[in-house]
Amino acid sequence: METVLAFLPGRYFILCTWLVCSSHLLTTSRAEVTCASCPWPTQVNTGGVQVGQRFGPATMGKSQAGGATEFLQTTGVPGGRGYIPRDVLRLDMDVSAGVGMNSKVFDEIVPGSSLSAKIPPDRDAKSDKVASEDTTLLRSKRSEPDLTEFTREARSGDSSLGGSSDERKTHGLLLDGQKLRSEVRWNRDDGKVSRQDEPKVISTTFALAGDSAHNHAVVYWTGRNSSVILILTKLYDFHLGSVTESSLWRSRDYGTTYERLNDKVGVKTVLSYLYVCPTNKRKIMVLTDPEFESSVLISYDEGATFQKYRLGFYVLSLLFHPEKEDWILAYSHDQKLYSSFDFGRKWQLVHERVTPNRFYWCVSGLDKEADLVHIEAHTPDGHCQYMTCRAQTCSESARTFPFPGYIESNSLVVQDDYIVVQVTMAGRAAYYVSYQREPFLLIKIPKYSLPKDMHILSTDQGQVFAAVQEWNQNDTYNLYISDQRGILFTLALENVKTSRGLGGNSMIDLYEVAGIKGMLIANRKVENQVKTYITYNKGRDWRLLQAPSKDLEGNDIYCVLPFCSLHLQLQMSENPYLSGSITTKGSVPGVIVATGNIGSELSYNSVGMFVSSDAGNTWRHIFEEEHNIWFLDKGGALLAVAPPAAPVRHLWISFDEGRQWTRHSFSATPLYVDGVLVEPGSENQVLTFFGHFSDRSEWQLIKVDYKALFSKQCAEGDYQTWHLHNQGEPCVMGQKQIYMKRRPGNYCMLGRESSRILSVEPCICRAHDFECDYGFERRGSGTCLPAFWFNPATVSWSCSHGQNYLNSTGYRKVVANNCTKGVKEMYAARKQACPERPPRGLQLGTRGSKLTANLGSNVTFLVQLEEGDSLRTNIQLDFGDGTAVSYSNLSWTEDGIRHVYRSAGIFRVIALAENSLGSDSTSLYLHVTCPVEHVQLLAPFVVIKNKEVNLTAVVWPSNCRTLTYFWWLGNNTEPVITLEGSIPHVFAAEGMNTVTVQVSSASSILQDTKTIAVQEFFKSLLLSFSPNLDDANPDIPEWRQDVGGVIKKSLLQIADVPADQLLVAVFPGIPTAAELFLLPSRNQSEGRKKSVEDLEQIAEVLIIALNQNLVEFELKPGSRVIVYITQLTLAPLVDSIPRHSSSAMLMLLSVVFLGFAVFLIYKFKRKIPWINIYAEVNHEKEQEMLGTVGQSDATPKITLSEFSTPKELMEKELDGRIKRGMINPCESTREIPNCTSV
């Protein structure tokens, strides 16, 4: 059979017709989309731009593929607030030479610090401009792999290829100044697209001719009700690192036309920065580039005329006064701070060695002088101090230091009612706060948070909101919220996602929704997945976001909580002229527009745009890809523009909160959009696009007038009511709020006000209006119970007999919550009378927590009391040098007790607090002119009376050179001094004995103290724990002590044993282990045999309970720790009867052998090249260590000159040890219990 291939036109036509019809039917059919986990990846990052009146260089630059963009602080951000540390890098792009573009430059400002300030809220219309004032704009990058060819052709000026395929098919593009058509109207609800023919918007384009080579631009609108816009363009030469050309442009008609002002400022003058006074926008300041000349150009008429004044320094940043329009602070490149009180015509030096961006004007209502300045400055020796002075007279005598002592660099934050600083105490970060300029108090974060880093996010609404990175966190932070005074912090949300921004700043994934008090959105890391959560009561309760029920095509989306939800990017734009990934506006409460994805976690790919009209309760999908969104007409309309990766000539506008969108053309030629300036005036409907047609074209400024879109001015009938709620719950932050909003779809002009509160009604207080108080944690049942480390019965020392104090119930009302009655009385703190009680918890320290002092300098001792009556407690302080002081009550010691030591030495300072009910004492050892570092004392917890025990000091770092060890044993007034980190000792009396070791190395001293129980005999058990305890073990002494107390409490519930017969010691290190000591009763009248039998019975009961897993405790809500018995110690019952064993003989032989080896090394040390000993002792002065008060003249005194040199001491020690055979070459870095010394 023969096969014939033929072409049949009729059949081919029928086949094609069937395919077209089939494809049409398939595309119009409705399909259901199932999403169980459906990840739509999204980029995780938050950002923000510093809002306020501190200004630095501001620029706008052209972009290139692969480039990056970053912006300086601005005075306007759209809508809500993202959080980022105060100091922000500013950079432009370095463009590859292969593309033939001008090189761009990176300019930098000092990165942020451990303490950073908030983004102030957008409280008025000024901040509603999309970064329209005093901001920085760079041409954003537009590099997409699939657009490379298209982008190159567009840059070459071929506009025929610009835009998307549907844009190229669109007809009717008109010239500048003509009305453009509203081409497409898209209804998101029904998916219908209709074409409109009526004219809508008017567009005009102006090119900054002659500036095509300029790669920086600064755009400013001078102020409300003004039609003036200023633009400064610059050419920054990357190779030279300076500005080589500049042009200043001015528009008087909202950007329709521009005039070049180079002739007015000087043809050869090169300008670098442009500033507008925030309190009087008619005043303009322009700085020249210091490479050519250092001058300032000042205008008082919005740039119509300028006056030039010489400068004697190079300005890096400016800070305008919040009220006085002529008062300015200027920071120079050499870390000097200057002030001007005539808007920059004259300057005077305020202070030197000032930390960048750590200077603040006064806060009205709190600081008495209007010209007061808060400064973080460095001392000549490199320390950092917080100081205040008047900017006009900041002489040395006029300076004050509100915080006593030094602070960490880059830590000063002055914000609203609060001033926060950071100090380092014993190697740990500690934070202090001053509320309304009161004395500084230590910030109390839950005890074992142990913060590594802290950022102040917000201080409005009468409390501090902070992000804290704890000791066990790396890429997440915990959110804490304070009481009204900013002292007591409680946990709001754990493991909030963070990332590193430009310049190394920490970017917190947290967003505060504008217009609704207490509403926050955060990205939290849960089991290695990042999810978006929302709260309506300042972090008391959080929940996931419900995904939209329909997609763009109207198909159902099956997304079931908690397995699937909506996740949002919370990134503020680094370009202040672009909207960022999330946008809200205070004048439009409840409307949230954000980039995000639907799925099980936040992802980076396949993102879309979502909008909520009811404050996050429900969401709608509005775009398949990311767009920049702005609010128009005071929030009455939404503007959407495609991302600047490719040139565009269309914009989208919605009048019904994103349900229906209308597309308009704004440019005949596709434009690379670098930014949009929205609403430069309050009475007009104008927006301006900034960009360029290609990389070699001039800057293009396209003014768009959209007033024709409105049919009329909104009347009363054009509004409707909207009730704020949380999933149907009408009470939000303790009140019911009803707003008036424009009816969706009404094309009426709002004018000045978009939304207003119609009514506010307080709600009855319920449980969700209260959060856990400091020291309490919320358990699974929802109740707040004390944390394991917190004792709620503790009464402050400031509570004196006859006074009252507020005793916490474990709850406190959320700050700014307006609920009334209900459970308010039940949860509120109760007023109770201060009880009479003896002093407890006496603490003695020095200012700065140092144990050293320079000879002849003032030493300030700080005495603190945890419990007791401060007004009826006598305080005595013995300085240890023959002098002492006494105070009738603790209030006299609040500022510290000063003392000057006239001789060098080591002094034991003793503090005694006593009243009619009892006393408490403590001591410290002060080294004059002998500073030290850090040491850990290793000693057994229980020892046998009259039995030799070894005490060892482990020093960090371990590579220290010759060290001197001072051993304070019991109540001895003089130490035992050795050159080695171990010493044998015999305790001759039963009881509790205190051992303190101090290690001196060069000019530093460290100490550690242990309390040892001395008994004739005892029994001990080794304990281990379930693995979850290791996850919460920070391995610090305080934690071990508290956990030991919890274990002891659990054991006492099992066995009816007196508390003084049990001692639990938790060992350092991981895995966590402990030893339980059973001590004999203090009353041994029945004889030793009976006491031994009692210990055996107690041990048997505890062993049974431990083997049956009956001993457990709760470390935190939902985490219970089980205590196990590991094994009995080597000796079931340890006493002081001498014995011999084979292991002891083997140990003795080993010691003798090692001693012989050390003897050989010592004899031939000069022939061994790597062994050498160096030591230095200063013999110039013989300093005397004096005894305490009342010490008799017969008391022996030790002078430093009587000590042998370290080399002589080492040789004597070695010779003596060789003769005794006691060489101990081992060094241990972990504490091993010496519980069987037999």
The string of pLDDT tens digits covering residues 316-369 is 999 999 999 999 999 999 999 999 999 999 999 999 999 999 999 999 999 999
Q: Which residue has the higher pLDDT, 917 or 1203?
A: 917
Name the phi and psi angles at 612, rounded to 5: -125, 130
Question: In this structure, what token pair is assigned to residue 362?
Answer: 């006064």
Between the CA of residue 1205 and those of 641, 905, 907, 1090, 1176, what are the distances in Å? 80, 17, 22, 54, 8
Question: In this structure, what token pair is assigned to residue 361?
Answer: 């004007």
Cα dihedral sign for 52, 55, 61, 63? Answer: negative
20 exposure class (CB count in 10 Å sphere: 0-12, 13-18, 19+):
exposed
Q: Which residues contact 970 (CB under 8 A, 6 or more apart)?
A: 987, 993, 994, 995
Q: What is the pLDDT of residue 187?
A: 57
Provide the pLDDT confidence category of residue 476 given band limits of 50, 70 and 90. very high
Q: Report d(CA 549, CA 956) in Å as an integer.
A: 60
pTM: 0.73
The string of pLDDT tens digits covering residues 650-697 is 999 998 899 999 999 999 999 999 888 886 555 678 888 988 888 788
Bridging pattern class, strands 199-207 and 453-458: unpaired
DSSP 1055: S
The C-alpha torsion from 1175 through 1181 and 1187 to 1189, rounded to 10°, is -150
Provide the pLDDT confidence category of residue 47 given band limits of 50, 70 and 90. very low
The answer, yes or no, to whether residue 495 has pLDDT greater than 80, is yes
The answer, yes or no, to whether residue 489 has pLDDT greater than 90, is yes
Q: What is the pLDDT of residue 549?
A: 93
Provide the pLDDT confidence category of residue 814 given band limits of 50, 70 and 90. very high
Q: What is the pLDDT of residue 932?
A: 66
Q: Which residue has the tokens 């400068």?
A: 311
Q: Which residue has the higher pLDDT, 879 or 86?
A: 879
Q: What is the pLDDT of residue 1208?
A: 52
The answer, yes or no, to whether residue 502 has pLDDT greater than 50, is yes
From first CA to last CA, the distance across the chain in angstroms is: 108
Contact 798, 866 (CB under 8 A): no
Q: Report d(CA 300, CA 254) in Å as an integer.
A: 19
Provide the pLDDT confidence category of residue 382 given band limits of 50, 70 and 90. confident
Q: Among 111-125, 216-230, 316-330, 620-634, name the most confident range.
A: 316-330
Provide the pLDDT confidence category of residue 1152 given band limits of 50, 70 and 90. low
The 3-state secondary structure of 85-134, one letter per residue: CCCCCCECCCCCHHHCCCCCCCCCCCCCCCCCCCCCCCCCHHHHCCCCCC
The string of pLDDT tens digits covering residues 263-298 is 888 888 899 889 999 999 899 999 998 888 889 999
The fraction of the chain above a pLDDT of 90, given in percent, is 37
Contact 445, 490 (CB under 8 A): no
Q: What count of other Cβ atoms lies within 10 Å of the Cβ of residue 521?
A: 24
The string of pLDDT tens digits covering residues 1120-1140 is 899 998 865 444 455 544 444
Contact 669, 238 (CB under 8 A): no
Q: Which residue has the higher pLDDT, 47 or 512?
A: 512
Q: How many residues in total does the chain contain?
A: 1238
- The mean pLDDT value for 1-12 works out to 42
The string of pLDDT tens digits covering residues 390-401 is 999 999 999 999
The answer, yes or no, to whether residue 14 has pLDDT greater than 60, is no
Contact 214, 696 (CB under 8 A): no
The string of pLDDT tens digits covering residues 1031-1087 is 889 988 889 989 999 999 988 888 888 888 888 999 888 899 999 998 888 776 666
Q: Among 185-199, 528-542, 1087-1101, name the most confident range.
A: 528-542
The answer, yes or no, to whether residue 939 has pLDDT greater than 80, is yes
287-291, Cβ contacts within 8 angstroms, sequence gap of 24 or more: 287/311, 287/315, 289/242, 289/243, 289/246, 290/314, 291/242, 291/243
The answer, yes or no, to whether residue 927 has pLDDT greater than 60, is yes
Name the phi and psi angles at 1101, rounded to 5: -65, -45
The string of pLDDT tens digits covering residues 573-601 is 877 788 889 999 888 889 999 999 999 99
Q: Report d(CA 331, CA 360) in Å as an integer.
A: 12
- Of 553, 554, 583, 557, nearest to 569 by C-alpha is 583
Q: Report d(CA 490, CA 466) in Å as an integer.
A: 10
- Of 784, 703, 707, nearest to 748 by C-alpha is 707
Q: Report d(CA 878, CA 923) in Å as an integer.
A: 9
Put the strands of the sheet holding 735-742 in their side by side order. 719-723, 735-742, 756-762
Q: Report d(CA 387, CA 375) in Å as an integer.
A: 5
Q: Report d(CA 31, CA 408) in Å as an integer.
A: 61
The C-alpha torsion from 731 through 737 and 738 to 741, rounded to 10°, is -120
Provide the pLDDT confidence category of residue 1160 given band limits of 50, 70 and 90. low
Q: What is the pLDDT of residue 820?
A: 94
Q: What is the pLDDT of residue 762?
A: 95
Question: In this structure, what token pair is assigned to residue 182?
Answer: 């509203």
The string of pLDDT tens digits covering residues 241-257 is 788 889 999 999 888 99
The string of pLDDT tens digits covering residues 771-809 is 999 999 998 888 999 999 998 887 776 677 777 888 899
Q: Report d(CA 280, CA 382) in Å as an integer.
A: 39
Question: In this structure, what token pair is assigned to residue 897?
Answer: 């007790």
SS3 for 1174? Answer: coil
Mean per-residue pLDDT over the chain, rounded? 76
Q: What is the pLDDT of residue 44?
A: 31
Provide the pLDDT confidence category of residue 1115 given band limits of 50, 70 and 90. confident
Residue type, 601: E
Question: In this structure, what token pair is assigned to residue 844?
Answer: 């003695």
